Amino acid sequence: MAEILRVEELTKYFNTKSGLLHAVDGVTFSVEEGKTLGIVGESGCGKSTLGRVILHLHERTSGKILFNGEDISEVNAQKLHALRKDMQIIFQDPYASLNPRMTVGNIIAEPLKNYKLTKSKEESEKKVREMMDIVGLADRTYNLYPHELDGGRRQRIGIARALILDPKLVVCDEPVSALDVSIQAQVLNLLMELQKDRGLTYLFITHNLSVVKHISDDITVMYLGQMVEKAESNEIFRHQYHPYTKALISAIPVPKYNAPDNQIILKGEITSPINVGKSCRFAARCPYAKENCFNTEPVLEEVTKDHFVKCHYVKEINGF
């Protein structure tokens, strides 16, 4: 399979009043066509920013973005317009991401208008109705407004809007976290079906590990803007080597009475991403932290085949 997206040492800093905010810091990964890369991390770890930087909704600070082998780190307005046809995004909040003054039909038709893909109103309406059918929106919702629909249906509008341009890559920015659990599964299954039918590539951003297990081929765990562990999906659920990943996996609720409580409770809050020094960013909360962790930054190294971990003491902790 061909590599569709490659990100090298991607960095995004925000200038804030209290200093430089390291939202995304030196992230490197690649995704193959038709696969799903799950990006997991807690709130504020920079995973959403990462998705937006790739789509040029925020401009990167440094690093490289390659799409289909082509460097798209810096593009002009015209090229960006062409590029967005192939790269789309599904937003987290289906309440905030739909214009409340537009009807469902108009929302889904808007990308077609932007790219002048249809010649007549009738043709565009036909395409929109087809797309609505594909994502499971009833035909009668065509003239309704988003607020007249529930969260699951709204999210389907967002999905239809993203897919009507036939993109190759879709960034799913927590597409189910605002939905009820019963609807989460429906939307996830829809996304997986669409991937199978259309050969889509997903960058699946979430904080919910059970969701990511369901859908991802590979998983990247992020902490404070950096990747701390990266491996194939099944592998990471079997063996977690980074202390943060261990804590994350142990936090997944087990639907079983009397299940042994093995949850690793992390101390403290996520540390500030502003003006970070040269240290392991997880050190302040790490149960295994030693002096070295506060002075030098670890590097991402391959521990077993295709399993990368960013930790000084990965071998000691895991007893290799």
Partner 1 sequence: MAKKTRDKNQHHSMVGEVWHQFKKNRNAVIGLIVLCIFIIIAVFAPMIAPYGYDDQDAAHTKIAPCREYPFGTDNLGRDVLSRIIHGSRYSLMIGFLAVTISIIAGGILGVLAAFYPKLDNIIMRTMDLFMAIPQMLLAMCIVAALGSSLFNLMLAVGLSSTPQFARVVRASVLSTRGQEYVEAARAIGGSDFNVIVRHIIPNSLAPLIVQATLSMARAIISASALSFLGFGIQAPKPEWGAMLSAGRKYIRQCWWLTVIPGLAIMVVVYALNVVGDGLRDSLDPRLKK
Of 118 and 318, the one with the shorter C-beta distance to partner 1 is: 118
Of 100 and 277, the one with the shorter C-beta distance to partner 1 is: 100
3-state secondary structure at position 299:
coil
Of 165 and 300, the one with the shorter C-beta distance to partner 1 is: 165
Q: What angle do CA 201, 53, 10 make, to 5 degrees?
A: 95
In the complex, what is the shortest distance from the CB of residue 57 to partner 1, in angstroms, rounded to a whole number? 6
In the complex, what is the shortest distance from the CB of residue 17 to partner 1, in angstroms, rounded to a whole number? 14
Of 155 and 226, the one with the shorter C-beta distance to partner 1 is: 155
Output DSSP code: residue 274: B
Of 102 and 274, the one with the shorter C-beta distance to partner 1 is: 102
In the complex, what is the shortest distance from the CB of residue 223 to partner 1, in angstroms, rounded to a whole number? 25
In the complex, the residues that contact partner 1 under the rule CB under 8 A are 52, 55, 57, 81, 84-85, 88-89, 91, 93, 96-103, 110-111, 114-115, 139-140, 142-145, 147-148, 158, 161-162, 165
In the complex, what is the shortest distance from the CB of residue 258 to partner 1, in angstroms, rounded to a whole number? 43
Render the burial of 44-58: b for 16+ CB within 10 Å, e for the rest: ebbbbbbbbbbbbeb
In the complex, what is the shortest distance from the CB of residue 204 to partner 1, in angstroms, rounded to a whole number? 17
Beta bridge partners of 307: 304
What whole-number distance in Å separates Cα of residue 78 and Cα of residue 67?
16
Strands 300-304 and 87-90: unpaired
Concatenating the DSSP letter of every residue in 142-161 gives GG--GGGS-HHHHHHHHHHH
